[in-house]
Structures are given as C-alpha cells and as structure tokens.
Amino acid sequence: MKKSWNALGACLLAASLGLAAAPAMAGDDCDVPIERWQTREAVTQMARQKGWDLQRVKIDDGCYEVRGKDAQGRAFKAKLDPETLAVVKIKYRDHDGRDRDRRRDRDRDHRDSRGAAPGAMPAAAPAAAAGKPSAAVSVSGARIE
C-alpha cells in the first residue's frame, strides 16, 4: 500500500511541475541565439518595405517588438522573429484610441462591481472635530500626533 502512495505522489509531483513550467513556454516568445539575430537596421528596412512607419523598436521575450502605423495608417504592435523577421504576433489598434478607452471603462466597471459606487473615490479618513486633538498614529514605531 505504501508503494502505491509513493508512486501516486511521484506522478502528482511530476504533473504539477509540468503544469508549472507551461506558462514559461509561451507560443509568442522567440528562442534564437543572439549570433543569428538580424540588426535593428534590418528591422527598420523590412518595415519600410512593408510600408510601415515605425515609432518604436525594442526587444521583448527574445523577439523584436515594433510599434507604429501600417500602410493604411492603422496603429499596430508586432513581435518579429529576430532571425527571419517574420511576424510572430500582431495587434491592431483603433485610430482614435477607442480600444484603450474601452479597456479603461471595463477595468473601472470591474472595480465598481466589487462594492464601490460608480465613480466613487476611496474613502478618506474622517476629519478631527474642530478644537479636539486628532488621534495619535504610530508609523514604524514613531508616534505621530
């Protein structure tokens, strides 16, 4: 009986370690040795050939990440394979930033649904009554009155 519990425990441990490592193997990460990378100048040249107007080129998750506007004027963010400069992932944004506003509204609605009134600010500490001393507060062992 003890052997079956040990075998079961070993299987569960192996499965949990495998699941814990899964997020580290994201599909849009690049795994290319640095000596095989193309230069940033090659990235900007490829972008010009596609009609892209780049505003930013950086490295993220082992990939080149570029932001800019495509030939039709749409704002985008793309991840490029550093060896082939192939597009690994691309996201387009609205011209007027409406998708950003929608995300802000969604986040605000989510916060509001947790108990705060819509648009309410966090509650402030009550003010001391006129002529009465405020309560003492201890901060890091120092007493503040």
Question: Residues 83-141: pLDDT tens digits?
Answer: 999 999 999 987 555 555 555 666 666 565 555 555 555 555 555 555 555 555 555 55
Banded model confidence at residue 25, pLDDT cuts 50, 70, 90 = very low
Determine contact, residues 75/55, Cβ cutoff 8 Å.
Answer: no
Taking the C-alpha atoms of residue 34 and residue 3, their distance in angstroms, rounded to an integer, is: 48
Does the pLDDT value for residue 56 go beyond 70? yes
Taking the C-alpha atoms of residue 33 and residue 119, their distance in angstroms, rounded to an integer, is: 49
Q: What is the mean pLDDT of residues 12-22?
A: 49
Instruction: Find the DSSP H helices in 22-63.
Output: 40-50
Across the chain, the runs of DSSP E, i.e. the strands, are 53-60, 63-69, 75-80, 87-93, 137-139, 142-144
Does the pLDDT value for residue 23 go beyond 50? no
pLDDT of residue 108: 64
pTM score, whole prediction? 0.49
Looking up tokens 């050939």 gives: 49
Taking the C-alpha atoms of residue 137 and residue 143, their distance in angstroms, rounded to an integer, is: 6
